[in-house]
Amino acid sequence: MSNPGEGDLTPIDSTAQLAAYLAEGCKAPSRFRIGTEHEKFGFQQRSLTPPPYEPQGIRAMLEGIAKGGWAPILDHGNPIGLTQAGSSVSLEPAGQLELSGAPRETLHETQAELAAHLAEVRAVAEPLGLGFAPLGFHPLATQADMPWMPKGRYGIMRRYMPKVGTRGLDMMTRTCTVQVNLDFGSEADMVRKLRVSLALQSFATALFANSPFYEGRPNGVLSNRAMVWTDTDNARAGIPAVVFEDGFGFERFAEFALDVPMYFVYRDGHYIDTAGASFRDFMAGKLRGLEGQRPTMGDFADHLTTIFTDVRLKRFLEMRGADAGNPAMMVAFSAFWTGLLYDDAALAAAESMVRELTAGNLMEVRAAVPTQGLAAPWRHGCLRDLVKPLVAIASEGLAARRRFNEAGEDERIYLAPLQAIAEGAPTQAEHWLARYEGAWGRDVRPIFREAAI
């Protein structure tokens, strides 16, 4: 989740102004970039328990990483993030460590950024007796086992989440994801990409499933992270039907966003609890406790970070449907969506595969994916039927980009893990379940050693 910031102080006068704010994200294709975000669970090497904020925990990690030239981000004097040259390190509520990578031109740069970050994390973590493992849901800890980070917005969310769903606190403390942020060239391009990526997000959830354990044992779910999102806060999550309505565009999305309940207003370094309140009332100067005050564009930007749809529209598109996974799979996630969305022919081919599907159809698939994975039904077959054609489309899209590394290889090399699954290899979740039933002797603890970065 985002680090705090008051941002643009321009007062908001109309919904059209919000639409114009979103439209400022439009770019020429030559300026399209790739921004990858990935999270991982910390664990104490001896006990496998989650590390506290302090002592010898997450705060020490941030302070150690900061020595590499990162500037600290503070919340009431506590370091809760870092920033450097367009990248940031932030904390999820239970100390899951997240890198929000800088916008990169190529996947080769994305891979190099990830490798450098993981090396930096290892160098700081090992003397502290810590390790980090990118998994979609914590395989061992109970919710009560997880620490809470001293970040103001998380206190507000912690109080509010149980009022709107049964799994919100699990989402905050026991899940990790990988995301990729991609650009659009125009309003029409945004609409096409948003519809296609929302329609295929459940496929990505199944393909990248990596959380088959719950408190030390399998519970019949391949992606516990995805299961959690089915009952976290459905007013701000899932697949918004408005995206598939005629006339959808920036202004219609802004109207949708205004109806998503607020969490907070950030003023003078403090979070003001407005959980459940209406942003529309805020625009009208009628927000309880802030009567007469009107929001700024920075408030709207903050509000957008609290919308948890499967694909989130800001001034770019954020793919949110996958479990965190091993480094190769994290880069493969970015490669998959870059290949599908950044080449016109690939986008048209992907679009043809989801044409005529409704938001209702997609929600049915989304509900089946956590337990069934690639076996979830899709039209007259199942999601597994799509693996080869979709990976092939992504591969063709990457080939068309013609971005080469020093060895003369193009970006298709990062699809290798997905091509293996297309040929019958197990997903990450299936791999871990086989290890649990075999070499691990039905003991989940070895996953920390084998999944550690």
| Domain map (residue ranges) of the chain | 15-451
Distance CA 233, CA 163 (A): 9
Confidence of residue 356 (pLDDT cuts 50, 70, 90): confident
pLDDT at 6: 53
Over residues 188-215, the pLDDT tens digits come to 999 999 999 999 999 999 999 999 999 9
Side-chain-facing half-sphere of 81: CA atoms under 13 Å: 22
Res. 7 pLDDT band, cuts 50 70 90: confident
HSE (side-chain half, CA atoms, 13 Å) at 139:
32
Is residue 172 helix, strand or coil? helix
**Beta strand spans in 134-288 (E):** 177-182, 213-214, 217-218, 237-238, 264-267, 270-273
Annotate 413-444 with b (16+ C-beta within 10 A) or e (fewer): bbbebbbebbeeeebbbbebbeebeeeeeeeb
Question: What is the average per-residue pLDDT within 405-431?
Answer: 98
Average pLDDT score over residue span 156-172: 98
Q: What is the CATH number of domain 15-451?
A: 3.30.590.20
Interatomic CA distance for residues 282 and 290, integer angstroms: 8
What is the rounded average pLDDT for all residues in the chain? 96
The vertex-428 CA angle with 378 and 129, nearest 5°, equals: 145
pLDDT in tens, 259-296: 999 999 999 889 999 999 999 999 999 999 999 999 99
pLDDT higher than 60, residue 3: no
442, 436 Cβ separation under 8 angstroms = yes
Cβ neighbors of 353 (< 8 A, separation 6 or more) are 200, 386, 389, 390
Q: What is the pLDDT of residue 200?
A: 97
pLDDT value at residue 1:
55
Distance CA 117, CA 109 (A): 12
How many whole angstroms separate alpha carbon 424 and alpha carbon 441?
Answer: 25
pLDDT tops 70 at residue 5: no
For residue range 301-341, what is the model confidence (pLDDT) as tens digits? 999 999 999 999 999 999 999 999 999 999 999 999 999 99
Is the Cβ–Cβ distance between 185 and 256 less than 8 Å? no
